[in-house]
Amino acid sequence: MKSEFFFYPLFQEEIDRLVQNPGRKEARYLVRIEKEMVLTDPILDLILSCQTPGKFYYSAKDDLFELGGLGNALVIEAASGDEVLEGFRRLWNRDETIPVFGGFAFDAEEEIAPEWGPFGRYRFTLPLIEISRSRKGARICVNYINKKRLPREQVLREIADSLQSLDALPRLSPTAGQPALADKALIPEKPQWNRMIKKALRTILEGDLKKIVLARKKVFTQKDRWDPVQIVAALAGISEKSCLFYYQIEDGVAFLGRSPERLFRMHNGTLLADAIAGTRPRGKNPFDDQRLEAELLNSPKELEEHRFVAGFIEARMHQLCTDVKVESREEILKLKNVQHIITRYSGRSQKNFSPLAIAEAFHPTPAVGGFPQEEIRSCLRRYEPFRRGWYAAPIGWMNRRNADFAVGIRSALVSGKTLHIFAGAGIVSQSNPHAEWNETEKKMDNFAAILGEV
């Protein structure tokens, strides 16, 4: 629903106090004003109601944490993780707990497809307005990066002007309505998909690969621009244990999704990671659902697929952590349309690894790429008829020590008049092209329901 929350009145008194305070004339590199408060509006409503071009939202999968951002105080676009960390070095030298939001491409060495151009290879944002909610309560912060070494009074005046400009924008009502009719293209078409799977099976039989995850997409084109606000509002209405993410780069350009897969969470030295692979649809009734669950847990093909992922995650955990534990092994994760096998790990992270380095070490897991990891990007470039961009890559927030990254699956790219919806299927020696096609259809069901396909 539409939020009528205004930001300038919240910070006006503190801005006036700082203007009148006879301290140093030059503002510091980072000017940050924080307000802890009781926030009655949902954070997502605050984000979606505001018409500023750049914004984001992230809700953690299984604990009470949300992060939203409006506007841009600092954006780092880079070709590597090291460049990103260098870009935020001065910020985190001032305060290493400040979060930034973003992600990176599935294959940073691949040429960027035109529709993914605004996202680049790596992109992270420190917002002008940062809104968070945790078990400790809600907090709203305003951020300003003083690159030009402006006087403090001028910085505070620019902050006030930015907040007043934000408040003056018309408020949207983020309703989840039905979009207009659109033309649909399948990439690849089913015959080409069947050939892709058979080619992959031959490669697996020859021993070059043990598993490969092949993706497909549906591209919907309409006369007017797609509204990402409408789509993410509909995704937010789905009740399931998953991570909701939304990264709008500019008007009409956004990457969004509802991912069941956490890549990892790092909090005060503890690292949590999930291995998710193996899929069945949900049943039509409780009895049918239980039957499909039992079928999933007793399928040699699905167990083989899952254990490639779990073995990889466990090995990476031992490289990155001490005191590695299996928190749960081969349980069932039930989502709205599908159910998966999940194994959960924890460990104590080694201090010399940054959150971004950990994300790069895990990505791509066999759940979204294949096994062995070293070969998989080059294989996907040969097999898939489109470039993935940020699909199935890490997306989330981080500061210098802590982070929460999801895997960008069950996702879509809004790019002007086109909407790209993605899904993938893990191919192992016992895979069947028709069954894998049907699995990707079920994985797209959240978006199919929004578009009125089902």
| 439 and 320 share one domain | yes
Task: Exactly one of 55, 61, 211, 218 is catalytic; name it.
Answer: 211
Q: Answer whether residue 281 is part of any domain.
A: yes
Question: 168, 194, 209 — which closes off a domain?
Answer: 168
| 153 and 267 share one domain | no
pLDDT for residue 454 is more than 50: no
Interatomic CA distance for residues 177 and 95, integer angstroms? 41
pLDDT at 1: 53
| 225 and 360 share one domain | yes
pLDDT at 82: 96
Q: Answer whether residue 173 is part of any domain.
A: no
> Could you give the residue ranges of the DSSP H alpha helices within 109-178?
152-168
Which residues lie below 8 Å from residue 42, measured CB to CB, with a gap of 6+? 3
| 150 and 201 share one domain | no
Check which CATH number belongs to the domain holding 234 and give it. Answer: 3.60.120.10
| 162 and 188 share one domain | no
pTM of the model: 0.94
Interatomic CA distance for residues 446 and 260, integer angstroms? 12
Mean pLDDT of the chain: 92
Q: Is 261 a catalytic residue?
A: yes
Burial class (CB in 10 A: 0-12, 13-18, 19+), 386: middle
Task: Exactly one of 66, 130, 261, 436 is catalytic; name it.
Answer: 261
Burial class (CB in 10 A: 0-12, 13-18, 19+), 382: exposed
Q: Answer whether residue 403 is part of any domain.
A: yes
From 78-87, 142-151, 173-182, 337-346, the region with the lowest mean pLDDT: 173-182
Give the CA distances from residue 287 to residues 283, 291, 292, in Å, rounded to whole numbers and listed in that order: 8, 6, 9
Q: What is the pLDDT of residues 294-338, one digit of tens each?
A: 999 999 989 988 998 999 999 999 999 999 999 999 999 998 889
The DSSP-derived string for 75-94 is EEEESSHHHHHHHTHHHHHH
Interatomic CA distance for residues 384 and 188, integer angstroms? 8
Q: Is 4 a catalytic residue?
A: no
pLDDT for residue 380 is more than 80: yes
pLDDT at 267: 92
Segment 289-294 shows an average pLDDT of: 95
Q: Are 263 and 365 in contact (CB under 8 A)?
A: yes
pLDDT for residue 252 is more than 50: yes
pLDDT for residue 411 is more than 60: yes
pLDDT for residue 18 is more than 90: no
| 119 and 237 share one domain | no
From 12-21, 156-165, 294-303, the region with the lowest mean pLDDT: 12-21
Q: Answer whether residue 175 is part of any domain.
A: no
Q: What is the SS3 string spanning 214-239?
A: EEEEEEEECCCCCCHHHHHHHHHCCC
pLDDT for residue 45 is more than 80: yes
What is the tally of structural domains in the chain? 2
Q: What is the pLDDT of residues 74-102, one digit of tens each?
A: 999 999 999 999 999 999 999 999 999 99
Segment 221-240 shows an average pLDDT of: 91
The token pair at 100 is 């930034």
| 235 and 100 share one domain | no
Interatomic CA distance for residues 357 and 85, integer angstroms? 10
Question: 168, 197, 216 — which closes off a domain?
Answer: 168
3-state secondary structure of 301: helix
| 44 and 143 share one domain | yes
| 439 labeled binding residue | yes
Q: Answer whether residue 405 is part of any domain.
A: yes
Q: Answer whether residue 46 is part of any domain.
A: yes
Q: Identify the band that residue 207 occupies on the pLDDT scale cut at 50, 70 and 90.
A: confident
Q: Answer whether residue 302 is part of any domain.
A: yes
pLDDT for residue 360 is more than 70: yes
pLDDT at 178: 53
Expressed as residue numbers, the domain containing 420 is: 183-451
Q: What is the pLDDT of residues 96-147, one digit of tens each?
A: 999 999 999 999 999 999 999 999 999 999 999 999 999 889 999 999 999 9
pLDDT at 152: 87
pLDDT for residue 188 is more than 90: yes
Question: 135, 168, 201 — which closes off a domain?
Answer: 168
| 216 and 153 share one domain | no
| 163 and 187 share one domain | no
pLDDT for residue 181 is more than 70: no
pLDDT for residue 173 is more than 80: no
Q: Answer whether residue 174 is part of any domain.
A: no
Phi, psi of 219 (to 5 degrees): -115, 120
Segment 342-349 shows an average pLDDT of: 95
Question: H-helix or E-strand containing 359?
Answer: helix 355-362
| 305 labeled binding residue | yes
pLDDT at 177: 54
Q: Are 227 and 204 in contact (CB under 8 A)?
A: no
The token pair at 305 is 């697929």
pLDDT for residue 182 is more than 80: no
pLDDT for residue 43 is more than 80: yes
| 341 and 223 share one domain | yes
| 160 and 224 share one domain | no
pLDDT for residue 26 is more than 70: no
